[in-house]
Amino acid sequence: MNDNSSNSTSRVKWQQALEKLVAASSERRARFVTDSGFEINTLYEPTSAAAQEALGYPGQYPFTRGIQPNMYRGRLWTMRQYAGFGTAEESNERYRYLLSQGTTGLSVAFDLPTQIGYDSDAPESVGEVGRVGVAVSSLEDMQVLFRDIPLDRISTSMTINSTAAILLAMYIAVARSRGIDPSVLRGTVQNDILKEYIARGTYIFPPKQSLRLVSDVIEYCHANLPHWNTISISGYHMREAGSTAVQELAFTFSNAIAYVEDVAKRGLELDKFLPQIAFFWGCHNNFFEEIAKFRAARRVWARITKERFAARNERSCMLRFHTQTAGCSLTAQQPDNNAVRVTLQALAAVLGGTQSLHTNALDEALGLPTERTAQLALRTQQIIAYESGVAETVDPIGGSYYVESLTNQIEEQVMRELEHVDKLGGSVAAIESGYFQDSIAREAYRYQREIEANERTIVGINKFAIEEKNSTPILHVDPQLEVKQRQRLAQLRVSRDAGRVQSTLAALRLAADGSGTLVSPILDAVESKATLGEIAASLRLIWGEYRGRA
């Protein structure tokens, strides 16, 4: 088949997919026009057949131009606001506020004790309860957290890793207690433990056992939660730690390969669980490189799934991802400038084709977002969506000489880095040898040295700095919330059936010492009112703790 006939076939396929989508659901507007009245096409194509062949069509392998034929023209990205602080009551109030302001999906931040498997009344938790996220120690906390929120109608993302199976079990238990069939639940659990060893540090168990828990969640959701994204493999935290855009993609895809290989060993059909995998990227200030990064990421994942894992289902090859603007790019000095940074980053994510987006608040270098700054962050997304016009046509930046060149270069470098990790023995071996960690540390050092040497300008830091007193209101978490949380746990411990709790925890330890999947025994323990800390302690007893590199 020559290039012309190949292009013609691809275009017909794209047109048919587009017509099917339009017939199935009404578009956001009946007619798309500029302010001057010019018609806006769904897609703009190169004039030469060769250029079109290289660029491809949206909704078709390798998905350079997006994973849907009509992208945002048919449906806007999910607007999430990552939130959580204090106790479940305070966070529930913030969630209901965000939903009332137009947020279309919730994204839950948990406090540090919850992330590393300690209850709020544990000695290790003193001073950390509710500080960097919401404190959730029991099913009761989770019930309060989602009070008056329709779990069967909203999508929930939970940023949790070491204790992902426990928090997911609590979410399922809340749905069951309301008579909601868990099979209708929609959302994502991050469940990406490997990047914790690389960049973040909130691991509990050794890598082998942690990887088992990840695969247990994937296997359980595959059978019971068909609309749930079982893992959100994160490059965001590597980027926050100092990686380059290329490293962010390469190291994240290396982890993805490890997860897929581990699940495949269980006999699950790849084409049935690959569509439930999602990714999580950061978006930084280098506007065009970030757009190119997202486009290259789609191509790389399409190649990995098709060439390495022989995926046949086209949905298996589609890279679905959430984006968060770069927290590490925000400055405590002149914090209002951060609103501009976040706007540029959010726009790059949208032009790059993200499926959901969180915009950081301008005050996050100082503390948790206030209600006002959280609203402004959400309005940033809404203005981009409804006023800028960038969502009116698919991949409006496609065909840019600069962006296409960057896309190709990023793809080539990522593939070379993946080959190198394979030679090291794969992702787990690269973690154990410190290759990922050392590579990121070198880049973080280089970046900081460039700032200190004035080779890289950060407005308000090493250029255009001014003497100022901070006038930005800062959200303070009331220390009494920790007392309140401890009191709630004390009441729970005396009111529950202690015998039932001990029985379910014993069953969990038995399962952990064997080879069976653990989500069901964890769910039994959660519903018996065992706490998160007690469940994690039971697993620690069998598996021990990971102490990291010396």
> Per-residue confidence at 107, pLDDT binned at 50, 70, 90?
confident
Residue 531 CB contacts under 8 Å (≥ 6 apart), including other chains = 119, 137, 138, 489, 492, 493
The residues pairing with 155 across neighbouring beta strands, listed in sequence order, are: 105, 186
Q: Residue 330 and residue 327: Cα distance in Å, rounded? A: 6
| SS3 of residue 523 by DSSP | helix
Kindly tell me if the per-residue pLDDT of 549 is higher than 70. no
> Per-residue confidence at 2, pLDDT binned at 50, 70, 90?
low
What is the rounded average pLDDT of the residues 212-234?
A: 94
Backbone angles phi, psi at 548, to 5 degrees: 80, -175
Please give the mean pLDDT across all residues of the chain: 93
Any idea which of 115-119, 176-180, 461-465, 475-479 has the lowest mean pLDDT? 475-479
- Per-residue pLDDT tens digits for 391-418: 999 999 999 999 999 999 999 999 999 9
Q: Residue 110 and residue 86: Cα distance in Å, rounded? A: 9
Instruction: Encode burial over 518-541: b for 16+ CB neighbours within 10 A, e otherwise.
Output: bbbbbbbbbbbbbbbbbbbbbbee
- Per-residue pLDDT tens digits for 11-23: 898 988 888 887 7
Q: Answer whether 160's CB lies under 8 Å from 192's CB.
A: no
Domains parsed from the chain with CATH numbers: 71-452 (3.20.20.240)
Q: Residue 296 and residue 304: Cα distance in Å, rounded? A: 12
Choose the most confident range, by mean pLDDT, from 461-465, 477-481, 544-548.
461-465
Kindly tell me if the per-residue pLDDT of 390 is higher than 80. yes
The helix (H) or strand (E) run that includes residue 380 is helix 371-387
Of 133, 131, 127, the C-alpha closest to 163 is 133
- Per-residue pLDDT tens digits for 194-216: 999 999 999 999 999 999 999 99
Phi-psi domain of 71 (left: phi exceeds 0; alpha: psi -120 through 50; beta: other): left
What is the rounded average pLDDT of the residues 65-72?
A: 95
Q: Residue 458 and residue 320: Cα distance in Å, rounded? A: 32
Kindly tell me if the per-residue pLDDT of 26 is higher than 70. no
> Per-residue confidence at 361, pLDDT binned at 50, 70, 90?
very high
> Per-residue confidence at 297, pLDDT binned at 50, 70, 90?
very high
The helix (H) or strand (E) run that includes residue 325 is strand 321-325
Backbone angles phi, psi at 358, to 5 degrees: -115, 130
The helix (H) or strand (E) run that includes residue 176 is helix 164-177
In this predicted structure, what is the pLDDT of residue 294? Answer: 98
Q: Answer whether 133's CB lies under 8 Å from 114's CB.
A: yes
What are the E-state strand segments in 160-221? 186-189
Q: Answer whether 247's CB lies under 8 Å from 442's CB.
A: no
In this predicted structure, what is the pLDDT of residue 1? Answer: 44
- Per DSSP, the chain holds a count of helices (H) and strands (E) of 21, 9
